[in-house]
Structure formats: structure tokens, C-alpha cells
């Protein structure tokens, strides 16, 4: 465009880059088909209050059910981010999850993941507000999770989005904390109610002193700033006991429960 209108320019793209792009475009197409065929499925994983042992809320995790083959987000989230189709997925996930919250009493409070590009989507906050109204779901029942790296890429944009969501009455949590370039000034600015310590530090904290010390420090930062602390990848009882000793507020992981479809969740909790 900078060179003037009505011009064609030939780019030479490396093979790896073009493979990546092709893969992304295939997922973008797959996503559209999945929307039409109602193949987007939400699974839910409980998050437990460490002090009482009660389930405090559930995290909604997206899957594609392609004719019985369950496809996990690790396979398609990055691909969709590359072609900017991730906002479409976010809107679908929000619509589905909030609709389910209006029908299933077990889903008292739910955490919904937002993609790294969410703050660039002007239609996101109005979509959330509209959906909550449509299904008569109290905004305080929804927590939005955004990864630390995504927040850091655009602190001003993220702050603006989360202030808007806070005004609606929703909460906000910083996901995968410790994997980005944690700066103290940014945590101070972001209106988050909780900080989710990344699972990579948690899953070995019972046998790795460094990990233990890092989890302890992150929990202390959260508390000093008046935020709740959440630990993911709690895979055994030893970890849960350590978290209890450290005063971590919430725990999530296979030791407590795997993510599951709503039918199983209703039978289990
Ligand atoms: P996340 O938000 O950090 O979610 C936690 C991931 O860890 C989930 O993987 C969950 O199944 C897995 N997990 C839970 N407990 C354990 C455990 O004890 N051990 C281990 N090793 N893993 C555990 P999942 O569902 O494959 O999701 C991966 C990532 O994809 C999520 O990480 C999140 O960033 C993204 N994601 C998931 N659902 C959505 C969605 O609806 N929208 C968007 N934008 N992103 C999503
Ligand atoms: Mg999450
Ligand atoms: Mg996480
Ligand atoms: Mg994680």
C-alpha cells in the first residue's frame, strides 16, 4: 500500500513460514466448520479453596469435538492467533459458557480464558455485556483469565479492557504468572483479583527447592498486593500440603480433578 494503489508485490516466504501460514488457514477453516456443526465443546476443571477443601469455581477449557476426536487447544490456539481468527473463537467460548451457566446450577462461578489479542477486539466487552444480559447471568459469576505475556504486550490496552470488565462487575486473573517478564509496576496497575502461578513451577515444587522458593515468593507478591493466589498443575497430595503451608488460596490440577464435560461434572460435584 505504501508504494501506491493497484500494485502487486511478490513476497518470497520461507518454506517454514508458508507451512505455518497454511496450517493456520486450515485451522481457521476448521473453526468455521466447527461453529456451523456445533463442534465447539467446553470442559470444566474445578478450582478448590485450599483452606476449606470446597470447590470455589471452575475453569472453562475449550475443545473441538471432530466426529468423536477431541482436539485440545494446544493444537489450534497459536494457529488461530496467527491469522487473527482467535477473536472469533473467544466470542464463541464466551457465548457458549455463559449460556451453559444459565442452565447448569453447578456452574456457580466460572473462569473463562481470553486470547492474547483480546484487548484489540473492540467488540469483546459489548459482546460480554450483551451475553450476560441475554442469559441473565450475574457478571460477578465470571472471571476472565489473561496470560501474563499477553498483558505485558500491551499494558495500557489490557488495563483499559479490564477496567471496563470490572465496571461490568466481572473479575480478572493473571494466568501463567511467572512465565513472562514479571515487573512489579505492571501487577500494581492491572485490576486483577487473582494471580495464577504457572504450573511449571508448581508440578515439581515438592522435589525441587528452587521451584518451591519461587512459588512461595509469587504467593507472597500476590498477597502483599491484596490479590488471591491460585496454583495450577497440583498433581499430588504433597504439593497440596505445601500450598496449604504457604497459604496459597486456590488449587487446580489433576490431583483434584481433570477437566470434564458438563454431564460428568454435574454427576461428580
Ligand atoms: P491454561 O489456561 O493455563 O489452562 C490450564 C491447562 O493445564 C489446561 O490445558 C488444563 O487441562 C491443563 N491442566 C490442568 N491441570 C493439570 C495438571 O495437573 N497437570 C498438567 N500437566 N496439566 C494440567 P488445556 O485445556 O489443553 O488448555 C491449554 C491452554 O489453552 C490454556 O492454558 C489456555 O491458555 C488455552 N485455552 C484453553 N481454553 C481456552 C479458551 O476457551 N479460549 C482461549 N482463548 N484459550 C484457551
Ligand atoms: Mg487459564
Ligand atoms: Mg493457567
Ligand atoms: Mg498454564
Contact 40, 263 (CB under 8 A): no
Task: Walk along the chain (269 residues) and give the pLDDT tens digit of each residue.
Answer: 566 677 776 656 677 888 888 989 999 999 999 999 999 999 999 999 999 999 999 999 999 999 999 999 999 998 998 887 899 999 999 999 999 999 999 999 999 999 988 988 999 999 999 999 999 999 999 999 998 888 777 888 889 999 999 999 999 999 999 988 767 777 888 889 999 999 999 999 999 999 999 999 999 999 999 999 999 999 999 999 999 999 999 999 999 999 999 999 999 99
Ligand 1 atom closest to the CA of 97, numbered from 1: 41
d(CA 114, CA 14): 31
Best substitution site from 72, 113, 121, 261 to test ligand 1's pocket, by max atoms within 8 Å of Cβ? 113
- pLDDT given at position 108: 98
Spatial neighbors of 107 by CB under 8 A, at least 6 apart, are: 44, 58, 100, 101, 262
- pLDDT given at position 10: 61
Distance 114 CA to ligand 1 centre (A): 12
Distance 14 CA to ligand 1 centre (A): 31
- pLDDT given at position 140: 98
Instruction: Report residue 163 as a C-alpha cell.
Output: 477496567
Strands (E), the chain: 40-49, 55-66, 69-71, 110-113, 142-147, 171-177, 194-197, 228-231, 250-251
- pLDDT given at position 260: 98
One-character DSSP codes across the chain: -TT-SS---PPP--HHHHHHHHHHHHHHHHHHHHHHTT-EEEEEEEEEETTT--EEEEEEEEEEEETTEEE-HHHHHHHHHHTT-HHHHHHHHHHHHHHHHHH-TT-SSEEEE--TTGGG-TTHHHHHHHHHHHTT--GGGEEEEEEHHHHHHTHHHHHHHHHHHHHHT-EEEEEEETSS---HHHHHHS--SEEEE-HHHHTTTTT-HHHHHHHHHHHHHHHHTT-EEEE----SHHHHHHHHHHT--EE-STTT---B-HHHHHHH-
Residue nearest to atom 17 of ligand 1 (CA): 233
Report whether residue 46 contacts ligand 1, using a CB cutoff of 6 Å: no
- Residue given cell 504468572 in the structure block: 177
- pLDDT given at position 1: 57
What are the backbone angles phi and psi of residue 79, rounded to the nearest 5°?
A: -60, -45
Report whether residue 259 contacts ligand 1, using a CB cutoff of 6 Å: yes
Distance 72 CA to ligand 4 centre (A): 14
Report whether residue 98 contacts ligand 1, using a CB cutoff of 6 Å: no
Distance 144 CA to ligand 2 centre (A): 9
Distance 146 CA to ligand 3 centre (A): 9
- pLDDT given at position 19: 86
d(CA 43, CA 259): 6
d(CA 69, CA 80): 19
Amino acid at each position: 500500500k505504501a508504494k501506491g494503489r493497484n500494485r502487486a508485490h511478490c513476497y518470497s516466504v520461507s518454506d517454514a513460514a508458508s507451512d505455518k501460514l497454511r496450517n493456520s488457514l486450515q485451522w481457521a477453516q476448521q473453526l468455521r466448520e466447527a461453529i456451523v456443526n456445533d463442534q465447539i465443546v467446553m470442559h470444566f476443571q474445578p478450582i478448590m479453596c485450599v483452606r476449606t477443601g470446597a470447590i470455589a469455581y471452575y475453569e472453562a477449557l475449550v475443545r473441538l469435538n471432530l466426529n468423536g476426536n477431541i482436539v485440545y487447544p494446544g493444537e489450534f490456539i497459536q494457529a488461530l492467533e496467527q491469522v487473527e481468527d482467535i477473536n472469533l473463537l473467544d466470542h464463541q467460548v464466551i457465548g457458549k459458557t455463559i449460556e451453559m451457566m444459565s442452565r447448569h446450577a453447578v456452574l456457580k462461578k466460572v473462569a473463562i480464558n481470553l486470547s492474547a489479542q483480546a484487548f484489540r477486539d473492540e467488540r469483546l466487552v459489548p459482546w460480554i455485556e450483551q451475553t450476560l444480559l441475554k442469559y441473565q447471568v450475574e457478571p460477578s459469576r465470571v472471571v476472565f483469565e489473561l496470560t501474563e505475556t499477553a498483558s505485558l504486550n500491551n499494558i495500557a490496552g489490557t488495563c483499559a479492557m479490564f477496567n471496563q470488565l470490572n465496571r461490568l462487575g466481572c473479575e480478572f486473573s493473571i494466568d501463567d504468572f511467572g512465565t513472562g517478564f514479571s515487573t512489579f509496576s505492571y501487577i500494581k496497575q492491572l485490576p486483577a483479583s487473582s494471580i495464577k502461578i504457572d504450573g511449571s513451577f508448581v508440578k515439581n515444587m515438592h522435589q525441587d527447592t528452587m521451584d518451591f522458593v519461587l512459588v512461595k515468593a509469587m504467593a507472597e507478591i500476590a498477597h502483599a498486593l491484596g490479590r488471591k493466589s491460585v496454583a495450577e498443575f497440583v498433581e499430588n497430595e504433597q504439593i497440596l500440603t505445601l500450598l496449604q503451608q504457604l497459604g496459597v488460596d486456590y488449587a487446580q490440577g489433576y490431583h483434584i480433578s481433570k477437566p470434564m464435560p458438563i454431564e460428568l461434572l454435574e454427576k461428580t460435584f
